[in-house]
Amino acid sequence: MIVVKCGGAVAESSGAEITALAARDEVVVVHGAGPQISAELVGRGRAVSFVRGRRVTDADALAVVREALLGVNAALCAAIGPRALGLAGDEIGLIASPVPELGFVGDPLPSRPQAVLDALADGRIPVVAPLAEGPLNVNADEAAAALAVGLGAERLVFLTDVPGVLRDTWVLERLEADEADRLVGDGTFAGGIVPKLEAAVRAARQGVQAEIGATEVVA
């Protein structure tokens, strides 16, 4: 099984790649909607704030997050085709530990939703919007890693708008988990790559092969 995390910036253009992966393996998709959420919040005159790559989410922002995620979910399902089955995480039992200092936000925990298993058994491609019970907004990278661990996936593949993990303009072919921790800790990596790296490291340490573009993250 492969869990694919599809960034919001590339969601609608990733259908063919996801379909190709699903031709030879079971695939579960988790997607983001970062650009869409930020654009909608700005359009409504709302502040956009992140802490270590995670969106600060109050009650009003949570409604925007849900609306944007479900919109991206529908568009991605259309791009994948008739095998795709859209699912909202908070409706299928995704669980998370609340992070109250960020508002309605959670740290996703490994889970094995029956709705995902049923979809796979029916030959479908489950496409999961990263919301947890509560509801709570959860980072899509972290949600993908939690699902990969909970489902016992062999691979976690991040599809993004960058070719891999960049350092000094070079794409790293391989990154050890301990080195990733150090580089995040000392500020070498910052912004949106941080939750991707942390999610990949978490999955790799649980035995899942994690790939961010062309970069393999290993325990």
Residue 156 CB partners (closer than 8 Å, separation 6+) = 2, 3, 5, 144, 145, 148, 199, 200, 203, 208, 209, 210, 211
CB 4 within 8 A of CB 155: no
Residue 9: predicted pLDDT: 83
Domains and CATH numbers, the chain: 2-218 (3.40.1160.10)
Share of the chain above pLDDT 90, in %: 83
- Kindly state the average pLDDT of the residues 23-52: 92
pTM, full prediction:
0.93
pLDDT band at residue 8 under the 50/70/90 scheme: confident
pLDDT for 97-154, tens place per residue?
999 999 999 999 999 999 999 999 999 999 999 999 999 999 999 999 999 999 999 9
Residue 159: predicted pLDDT: 93
- Kindly state the average pLDDT of the residues 153-164: 93
In angstroms, the CA 7 to CA 31 distance is 6
pLDDT for 66-105, tens place per residue?
999 999 999 999 999 999 999 999 999 999 999 999 999 9
Residue 176 has pLDDT above 90, yes or no: yes
CB 10 within 8 A of CB 161: yes
In angstroms, the CA 87 to CA 71 distance is 12
CB 44 within 8 A of CB 64: yes
Residue 161 has pLDDT above 80, yes or no: yes
Integer Rg of the chain from CA: 16
C-alpha distance across the termini of the chain, in Å: 19
Residue 11: predicted pLDDT: 83
CB 96 within 8 A of CB 108: yes
- Kindly state the average pLDDT of the residues 180-206: 92
Share of the chain above pLDDT 70, in %: 100
User: Chain-wide mean pLDDT for the chain?
Assistant: 94
Residue 47 has pLDDT above 90, yes or no: no
